[in-house]
Amino acid sequence: MNIAIIGCGKMGRIVERAARERGHRVSVVVDPFITGSEVPAGTLLRKTVEEAENLHEADVAIEFSQPGAAADNIKALAKRRIPAVSGTTGWYGRMDEVKEAVNAAGSSLLWAANFSLGVNIFYRIAFNAAALMDPFDEYDAGGFEAHHNKKADSPSGTAKTLAEGIIKRMERKKKPVYETLDRPPLPGEFHFPSLRVGSLPGTHALVFDSPADTIEIRHTARSREGFASGALVAAQWLVKCPGPGQAAGGARRGVFTMDDVLDELGVKSTK
Ligand SMILES: NC(=O)c1ccc[n+]([C@@H]2O[C@H](COP(=O)([O-])OP(=O)(O)OC[C@H]3O[C@@H](n4cnc5c(N)ncnc54)[C@H](O)[C@@H]3O)[C@@H](O)[C@H]2O)c1
C-alpha cells in the first residue's frame, strides 16, 4: 500500500516505521507543527490535507493527530476520496457530521479509540465470558484498570467500553461504578476502579469470584507498537490489501470500526 501519514507525533512515527518494515510505502506526511528534518527521507511534508498535492497517490491515510484537528482532517480526506483510518480520540462529539461527510463523498473511514488487535480480541473474550458467567449467581463480577501516573483521563476509554459491554451481557449487573467505594457495592453495581502508579503499562482486568475460586482475564499492553500494528491491519482491510507490502485492491465505502475487521477475521462474539 501507498500510505499517507496525517499527524506525525508519537503514533504517526511508529505507524510510519511499522509500515515501512512491512514493505508498504509512505509517500506523504501531513503535520503543521513539525519540520522537514523530522520527516523520513523520501517523504513529502505538507502542513494540511488540502496542500498535499501527491495525496491522490495514497491508497489510504492513517490519522493520529489531535482531538481538535481530527474531524476536519477526516472531512478533508473524504472530500478528496482518500480512505481514512483514524485513531485520534476526543473528537467523537462531531461523529454524526463526519459520518455524513464521508458518506456524502462516497469515501471511507475506519475509526477506533483503541487499535490494538489484542484489546479488540480481549473485548470479545470478556463479553463472551460475561454472558457465560451471568447465570451463575455465586460468581460476582468486577474488575480494574491500571496505568502510568501521566495518563490524563480516568477511567480509560478502554475500561468504559469493557464495563459498558459487560453490563449489556449480564442481567445481574446494571451499572458500572468507576469511583473508589467507601461502602460495599450495591446489588447490580459492577465495580471497575482505576489505579495510577509510576510507569505501569496499560492493564485491564476482569474478575469473576465465587467463595470457592476466582477466574481472572487480563490484558496488559507492552508498547505502542500494538496500536500501530492494528491500524495497519485496519488499513489493509479498508482498502482490501491482501497482505503486508502488497497492493490495495479497492476501498470499501462507508464508516467502519475494528468490530467490522474482527467480524471478518472470524473472531466470534456474543452480541
Ligand atoms: N486509537 C488508538 O489505538 C490510539 C493509540 C494511541 C494514541 N491514540 C490517540 O492518537 C492521538 C495522537 O496521539 P500521539 O501520542 O501520537 O500524540 P502526539 O501529541 O505525539 O502527536 C500528535 C501530532 O499531531 C500533530 N497535529 C496537530 N494538529 C494537526 C493537524 N491539524 N493535522 C495533522 N497533524 C496535526 C502534532 O503536530 C503532533 O505531531 C491522540 O488523540 C491519542 O489519544 C489513539
**Which CATH superfamily is 2-115+224-265 part of?**
NAD(P)-binding Rossmann-like Domain (3.40.50.720)
Contacts of 181 (CB under 8 A, 6+ apart): 191, 193
Position with higher pLDDT, 246 vs 116: 116
What confidence tier does 152 reach under pLDDT thresholds 50, 70, 90?
confident
- Are 205 and 218 contacting, i.e. CB atoms less than 8 angstroms apart? yes
For residue 202, the CA-to-ligand 1 centroid distance in Å is: 18
Q: Which of 78, 35, 85, 39 shows the shortest CA–CA distance to 64?
A: 85
What confidence tier does 128 reach under pLDDT thresholds 50, 70, 90?
very high
Query: Mind listing the pLDDT tens digit for each residue in 98-120?
Result: 999 999 999 999 999 999 999 99
Query: Mind listing the pLDDT tens digit for each residue in 53-85?
Result: 999 999 999 999 999 999 999 999 999 999 999
Residue to mutate, 66, 77, 227, ligand 1, most ligand atoms under 8 Å from C-beta: 66
**CATH number for the domain whose boundaries are 117-220:** 3.30.360.10
Whether residue 47 lies in the annotated active site: no
CB under 6 Å to ligand 1: residues? 6-12, 30-34, 64-67, 69, 73, 87-90, 112-115, 227
Q: Bin 163: left if φ > 0, else alpha if -120 < ψ < 50, else beta.
A: alpha
CA angle 93, 95, 98 (to 5 degrees): 130
Query: Mind listing the pLDDT tens digit for each residue in 211-230?
Result: 999 999 999 999 999 999 99
For residue 261, the CA-to-ligand 1 centroid distance in Å is: 22
C-alpha cell of residue 238: 479498508
Beta strands in 19-157 (DSSP E): 25-30, 44-46, 60-63, 84-86, 108-111, 140-147
- Point out the catalytic residue in the list 24, 147, 173, 219: 147
Q: Which amino acid is at 236?
A: Q
Q: Whose CA is nearest to atom 30 of ligand 1?
A: 69
Domain ranges across the chain: 2-115+224-265, 117-220
